[in-house]
Structure 1
């Protein structure tokens, strides 16, 4: 397996404290800078200001809905360095939703629950 780039910025947008802590735990030994946000509107400003290389976004977050946040980031010409985006959802898990999610332009989609291995493989496929 190809190694991840070193020292990238990863934004994690998750309003559930347990899930946020789990993702942070999974990523703690990767050597990357982990930035967190619990709201979509705040996360949008973080992307504009800090330019992370990757954003892991929950689909249902306060502020701007996670799916809308993804599309807003991808469509904003003012964001020169667009992050790769993984959208996550525990609600939209049926196969039919995977096609609907594509309309919001994520680079990847994951359903919850997820394993550490699945998350790291998804990240590796986007960042290498």
Structure 2
């Protein structure tokens, strides 16, 4: 029997008991889990914890789950599984259109949620936390003067300050030579 995938999961839900329940099921499956309870904390935690999968509620204090997903998609390629009580078709379409990879409505089966997370972890993903966690060999950051491009963490810094790039901007190949800069 194949071993289950390992990974880092960030669970974000303002319902503390529910977040802890989800986290416990994920931990029992051998996954590393962090929990946050509001949108602002969620964005910061994605930067710091670099999860492979973000389990995200839509109804959060601070900034809502839709805005969290939009902001996270600027700098992270982690999988996003929205876990929410909102079950209208429009909510699902909006969630998926802002970058969610899956959408599960409450009430839900914790075992099914774990299976969905594990299925995501089995799929190859370029960049993001999966590579930082060691699913492929780590690359050294590209350094050109004060510009530092770290492909593994998908972060760019100029003179020590972070540069916010969308996924498309980050993935865009540079044409020409370095001397042209």
Query: Smaller-chain TM-score range?
Result: 0.7 to 0.9
Instruction: Report the CA distance shift for 1:65/1:29 in structure 2 as closer, same or farther (over 3 A).
Output: same
Matches of 1:101 and 1:53, distance apart in 2? 18
| 2:5 matched residue in structure 1 | 5
Instruction: Report the CA distance shift for 1:3/1:40 in structure 2 as closer, same or farther (over 3 A).
Output: farther
Query: CA offsets per residue over residues 1-20 of structure 1, 9 Å max, x none?
Result: 965322x2110001101211
Instruction: Report the CA distance shift for 1:2/1:109 in structure 2 as closer, same or farther (over 3 A).
Output: farther
Q: Is the 8 A contact 1:51 1:82 kept in 2?
A: no
After TM superposition, the structure 1 stretch with the greater mean CA deviation from structure 2, 16-25 or 95-104, is 95-104
CA drift at 1:49: 1.7
Q: Is the 8 A contact 1:40 1:64 kept in 2?
A: yes
Task: Provide the secondary structure at the position in 2 that maps to 1:28.
Answer: helix
Task: Provide the secondary structure at the position in 2 that maps to 1:23.
Answer: helix
Taking only aligned residues, the RMSD between alpha carbons, in angstroms, comes to 1.8
Matches of 2:95 and 2:23, distance apart in 1? 24
Which stretches of structure 1, 4 residues or more, deviate above 3 A after TM superposition? 1-4
Kindly name which structure, 1 or 2, has the bigger radius of gyration based on alpha carbons: 2
Q: 1:107 aligns with which of 101, 104, 116?
A: 101
Matches of 1:45 and 1:57, distance apart in 2? 14
The answer for unaligned runs of 5 or more in structure 1 is none
> Are residue 24 (structure 1) and residue 23 (structure 2) matched?
yes
Matches of 1:85 and 1:10, distance apart in 2? 10
Q: Is the 8 A contact 1:59 1:88 kept in 2?
A: yes
Matches of 1:70 and 1:104, distance apart in 2? 7
CA drift at 1:45: 0.8
Q: 1:83 aligns with which of 72, 78, 82?
A: 78
Give TM-score scaled by structure 2 length: 0.62
The answer for unaligned runs of 5 or more in structure 2 is 123-181
Greater relative contact order (Cα < 8 A, sep 6+): 1
Q: How many residues align?
A: 122
